[in-house]
Chains A and B, each alone.
Chain A
Amino acid sequence: MQITKSGFSIREWLHRPRGHLTMRQREGLVGFLFLLPWVLGFVLLKAIPILAALVFSFTDFKMLDPENTKFIGLTNYINILRDTSAGSSLFGSIAVLVQAVPIELGVALGLAAVFSSARVRLKGLLRTFVFMPSVIPAIALFIIVFGLVSPGSGWIERLILDPLHLPPIANLFSIFPILLALWTIGPGFLIMYGAMQSVPPEVYEAARVDGAGPINRFFSITLPMISPAIFFSLVINMISSFGGVALLDRGLPFSQSLSPMESYINAQMFSYSKLGYASALAWIMFIVVMVITLAVFRSAKYWVHFPEEEDNVEF
């Protein structure tokens, strides 16, 4: 199907019967009516707020005092450059991303590879068990992990550290993001496992005849064949660690956001009600996220093997 060769052409438009639309134009119009909810949503919930945030970021807009808002130019952005906690929260967010995403992807990929073995029994049940922690609400997860790592009565200390005579971990909460990442592998696991299932068995058979061992086959067949799925999982995991809307969202309340940058923005917004400053911070974060996303998408052409299809989406 060729969307790119658009149905709208000047010649058709000029030669159309008066008062009637051509088939093509009709099709375009009806199709556009179906897109209308998303187009409206895009304009009202994405485009206008993003631009409004840009405008706010040049003002000293305060929540409690909206009448006295003044245009202050780049002052907010200059203040961000001077604000050390803004910088450290940004790097904290990137650190969380760098810590969590490899765990989420690596563990999910390893499990998916094990699940692909013909020897594994009761796959349906086990898959559901692997997926289960990913649907647990963030607040419940918070409570469980909090209890688990709490000094004294937490099981990490009682069952692992004490019997092995290990010293207590100085900052037990530093392992929090790791435990959380481990319990967020569900969607990535299912996507990559699904992709592994769809690799044609003949390809493996051919490689086996050529004498490729299981490890060789995994790296030279499975990984390239499922690279679009790995890419998709990478993208959704990345988005969720920046606080975007991914496939599965646990929805932490604002007061307990795990992304340092996000909590800093929320603090500026709600605790100090500096909406202008928060908007400037959000714009900086937006740009950083877009740059990282773009870099990841650009890198895709070096390692993602998209199936040769006419109507191929860049995904």
Chain B
Amino acid sequence: MLNSRLQGFRRLFNVSTLTFRLWNFTGTATVNLLLWAAILAYLSPLSYMFATALKTNSQLSDSLAPIYPATAMTYTFQGNSYDVYEVPTEGGVKQWALVNPSRKESEFIDPAHPDLGLIHWDGSWRSLHKAYRPSVTFNNFVTLWNNIDYPNHLRNSLIVVVLAELGVLCSSIAVAYGFARFRIPGGRFLFLLCIATIMIPDSITLVPSFVIFTRVLDWNGTFLPIIVPHFFGSAIYIFLLRQNFKTIPREMDEAAMLDGAGPLRTLLSIILPQAVPVVVTVALLQFFNIWNEMRMSSLYLSSALDLRTMPFTAQAFVSYGFTAEMLQASALILIIIPVLVLFTAQRFFMQDMVVTGIEK
């Protein structure tokens, strides 16, 4: 498509094939470079997280330290350890170790030539920057692992994710099938009502459901208030699945019905095999939603801290006001799993958002 258009241009302006190819290549390269630059800028906050998570606390407390993970250089001279500074001299900036600091003048030693002895330097050493060399530390992760019961949080997350997935998939698929294939009295009204429930803000149902779950059912401090609602289906998934099921030709399930298959059997053996991509998409959306879920858990598990899911591993640090590098390390641990899942499943996910993108 692009090529035919360019051919037209070429004939119109009578340029040589080479010039034309060059121009075409330049255009493609520019578009791609700009896009890569934009996406790198877009993701740049993540690099802050990575860089900070790999830093030591002492680097962070030095406001003049470089932004990449690094350690302050030291030099051991005659059994003592001295800090190395970036010292401006006539011969350029030198990395010298500070031996005798004093207010107006100081004595340094050059780690490259210790045999030259102490070097006298006029100026305030406090105005000097410390010399750093790149180095990463994984100690933050070790500290986190020792302080937080990650296996327990992970186990809780897995329980909630597996059960909520199971619940939402079974119920939403059944309901979507009902909406897509059966002539139900008032079915259209029910479907519109179902879509309308997507718009209902959480706050309105929050107080009464809280009263029901804690006072009536006494489910406070269990996974039940978080998991059970998913067994009633989710309106937006029902919508996505129903739209997809409608694109599957009816002739196929009618043929199955004639062969004696009941509705459930038709759903399982005719509809579902053809709707694998959309089911995977819904399963992934549900995974991200449940993995990140904190609203309900923070409400109902406040008395059962050992049942809390993965996101709370990071929240603990926010509340206790931990240092920046610990916070970033805990955030890094938290995002690894959703990002890995996204990259593993991207083929399905991206393809099917395209399918469901043909919206009605």
Contact = CB atoms under 8 A, between A and B. Distances in A.
Do A and B pair up? The answer is yes
Contacts of B229: 41, 45
A183 B265 CA distance: 42
Contact of A229 (B177, B243, B315, B357): B357
Contacts of A27: 182-184
Given A49-B205, A144-B49, A201-B1, A293 B191 contact: no
Interface string B321-360: 0001001101110110011011100110110011111111
A44 B297 CA distance: 20
Given A159-B67, A198-B357, A278 B232 contact: no
Given A7-B185, A35-B175, A53-B208, A128 B31 contact: no
B292 A147 contact: no
A214 to B, nearest CB: 10
A275 B215 CA distance: 14
Most chain B CB within a 10 A radius of its CB, from A56, A247, A275, A286: A247
Contacts, number: 354
A254 interface: yes
A30 B267 CA distance: 13
Contact of A6 (B183, B299, B310): B183
Nearest to B236: A247
B60 A239 contact: no
B246 interface: yes
B183 A138 contact: no
A77 interface: no
Contacts of B258: none
A30 B182 contact: yes
B195 interface: yes
A114 B236 contact: no
Interface stretch (B40-48, B74-82, B143-151): B40-48
Interface string A154-175: 0100110000000000000000
Contacts of B63: 152-153
B291 interface: yes
Nearest to B186: A6
Contacts of A192: 357
A135 B335 CA distance: 8
A138 B350 contact: no
A119 B28 contact: yes
A114 B28 CA distance: 12
Contact of A142 (B182, B195, B233, B318): B318
B331 A144 contact: yes
Interface in B126-160: none
A275 B214 CA distance: 14
B200 A50 contact: yes
A262 interface: yes
B355 A49 contact: no
Contacts of B15: none
26 contacts: A7-B183, A28-B185, A32-B178, A35-B178, A35-B190, A44-B232, A50-B204, A52-B211, A66-B215, A118-B1, A128-B346, A129-B43, A135-B338, A136-B338, A137-B291, A190-B350, A191-B359, A244-B200, A247-B285, A251-B289, A251-B295, A253-B315, A282-B203, A285-B203, A290-B199, A313-B360
Interface of B: 1-2, 5, 27-28, 31-32, 35-36, 39, 42-43, 45-46, 48-49, 52, 60, 63, 67, 171, 174-175, 177-179, 181-188, 190-195, 197-212, 215, 229, 231-236, 238-239, 243, 246, 263, 285, 288-289, 291-295, 297-299, 310-311, 314-315, 317-318, 324, 327-328, 330-332, 334-335, 338-339, 341-343, 346-347, 349-350, 353-360
Given A3-B187, A253-B298, A266-B203, 16 more contacts: A4-B188, A6-B184, A32-B184, A38-B171, A121-B28, A129-B39, A131-B349, A139-B334, A146-B327, A147-B49, A242-B201, A251-B293, A269-B210, A282-B206, A313-B192, A315-B195
